[in-house]
Structure 1
Amino acid sequence: MSKLARLDELLEQYYQLKYHTQPEILSRLQDVQAWQKARMQRTHQQHFSEKNNQLMAEYFLNRLYGGSDFDALAEQIARLMKYAHKAEKIIPENAIKTGTSGVELAILAVQLDEQVAIQLLKDYPAHTALTDEMMRLTYLKLDQGEARLKQLALLDQLGVSLDKYMRSFVVYTAFKMCKSAANKYHFQVMYEFMQDGFQAMKPLKSAEKFVTDFTAIERGIIDKVHSGDPLPFQ
């Protein structure tokens, strides 16, 4: 089986999302993502503002979570699948696995937030400004606790993989050697997605620690939501 087969499966899931063909869901999804980003920035302000964490925090919020250019990235991944045999000879296996984990996380975040967006459209007028209470009630109604915990577990695994594989001089050298090919065959968005990840890691002593500090707080919020705390986001 191709090492890139999992990416193909993820793309199929991504293109089945309803927001691609239903503008009202897309609009509400964007509202949900904006609320989520603002909430995460507020919740993790101290963690994200530390000098060595700033680039990774930005990567988290703008690349791994609901990035505006993810459609373009998905299109380039789809094209890459046509050249899977050649790509696997160039891209180190551990880089493929780690990159796939990042894509899986990004898609899972969109899947979960689309569910929230659809439920909000059922329960409230389409242009109602989102509030913490609306989101709390919607999370409870959808009972996403286990799915959100899975999301955090995948994120923890990604943190370990980033430290284990992506700090390798050999991997980074091989990655840089792909730049001319990426430009030639119009895979710039994909290359930049990975390049930004490498750059975000440089100031960190440990990507794993950055991630686990983040996920520990997020697990606490999930627990508060599902244990009935009326103010879980504060």
Structure 2
Amino acid sequence: MSEILLRRRLARRLAWQRRLNDPVAEPRNRLATLPPLRAWQADRLRASFRDFLERPGTRAAAQFFLDDLYGDRDFSGRDRDAARVLPAMVRLLPAALSEAAVEAVELAVLSHAFDLAMATVLAKRPDPHAPITMADYGQAYRETGCPRLRRHQIGLILSLGRTLEAAVRLPGVGRLLRASRLPARLAGVSELQGFLERGFAAFAGLEGAGRFLDAIAEREYAASRRLFAGDPDPFRLNRKPRPGNGGSRSRPSA
């Protein structure tokens, strides 16, 4: 992707991010159901990918995905950093790392948009403060709809993983990231710097990035289809995993 296209894409994503996270322009940010929804989803992801978290060869990559891409945390600091410095960084960083940062912003914004829509559905329950059950989650997922955008959300995760894998293969990228730590700290953009370093380190130590990403694709696409179909156990958390399947035995808190 050219530098001009990368900048334009980043500007559009950041403008969307600012609108969606503004509690005045977007009052759904104040919904009481939003924090427990995010916590529920974080628990579910840890349960779904427990096998990767327990395996030394995939632990760092799985933790990066759960914490930095799909997790229950505020990404606004990283995205503000991206808005401030990424237009200049595209001249210095390998294209793969710049694209990874832009894809991460897009993923965070799209995930937040879905969370707002689902939190709105959950707030309509007879008792909005009741713990979220699997049935509640499935109902909110279906009412929110947008199956194509759900597939795009998963596709962004996979694309970002492939982008980081490509960056790992480039000579000198690790040294460049280490050398930029002090300038990043002095410039006040340590959130973005930390994200890029963690992503690079996670994929540098990954045993078989292709298999890891394929497993994520298989599980998450299948779970989305089952959610839309009304399956009562869409994440297959109550089933004993098949050998090599890497399923999990635990459930998210409800």
Provide the C-alpha distance between the structure 2 equivalents of 1:137 and 1:26, rounded to a whole number of angstroms: 18
Residues 1:58 and 2:63 aligned together? yes
Question: What is the aligned length?
Answer: 231
User: Is the CA contact (8 Å cut-off) linking 2:82 and 2:192 kept in structure 1?
Assistant: yes
List gaps (5 residues or longer) in structure 2. 237-254
SS in 2 for 1:204: coil
Residues 1:189 and 2:191 aligned together? yes
Calculate the aligned-residue CA RMSD, in Å.
Answer: 2.2
- Name the stretch that deviates more: 49-58 or 26-35: 26-35
User: Is the CA contact (8 Å cut-off) linking 1:11 and 1:78 kept in structure 2?
Assistant: yes
**CA gap 1:26/1:7 in 2 versus in 1, 3 angstroms:** farther
Normalised by the length of structure 1, the TM-score is 0.88
**CA gap 1:124/1:208 in 2 versus in 1, 3 angstroms:** farther
Give the aligned residue type for 1:192: G
Write out aligned runs for 1:1-234 (5 A).
1=4, 3-17=6-20, 20-21=23-24, 22=27, 25=30, 27-66=32-71, 68-80=73-85, 84=87, 86-234=88-236
Provide the C-alpha distance between the structure 2 equivalents of 1:23 and 1:136, rounded to a whole number of angstroms: 20
- Name the stretch that deviates more: 20-29 or 184-193: 20-29
Provide the C-alpha distance between the structure 2 equivalents of 1:106 and 1:63, rounded to a whole number of angstroms: 9
User: Is the CA contact (8 Å cut-off) linking 1:33 and 1:113 kept in structure 2?
Assistant: yes
Deviations 1:100-121 (A, max 9, x none): 1122222221221121112211
List gaps (5 residues or longer) in structure 1. none
Provide the C-alpha distance between the structure 2 equivalents of 1:2 and 1:146, rounded to a whole number of angstroms: 24
Post-superposition shift, 1:207? 2.7
Give the aligned residue type for 1:6: R
SS in 1 for 2:128: coil
User: Is the CA contact (8 Å cut-off) linking 2:53 and 2:62 kept in structure 1?
Assistant: yes
Give the aligned residue type for 2:9: R
Provide the C-alpha distance between the structure 2 equivalents of 1:104 and 1:166, rounded to a whole number of angstroms: 21
Deviations 1:101-144 (A, max 9, x none): 12222222122112111221133433221110101111122223
User: Is the CA contact (8 Å cut-off) linking 2:78 and 2:192 kept in structure 1?
Assistant: yes
Provide the C-alpha distance between the structure 1 equivalents of 2:167 and 2:49, rounded to a whole number of angstroms: 26
User: Is the CA contact (8 Å cut-off) linking 1:55 and 1:200 kept in structure 2?
Assistant: yes
Post-superposition shift, 1:228? 2.9
Provide the C-alpha distance between the structure 2 equivalents of 1:18 and 1:180, rounded to a whole number of angstroms: 30
By percentage of residues, which structure has more helix?
1
SS in 2 for 1:90: coil
- Name the stretch that deviates more: 60-69 or 183-192: 60-69
- Name the stretch that deviates more: 62-71 or 149-158: 62-71
Give the aligned residue type for 2:51: Q
Provide the C-alpha distance between the structure 1 equivalents of 2:31 and 2:82, rounded to a whole number of angstroms: 22
Report the identity percentage. Answer: 24
Post-superposition shift, 1:212? 1.7
Normalised by the length of structure 2, the TM-score is 0.81
Give the aligned residue type for 1:30: P
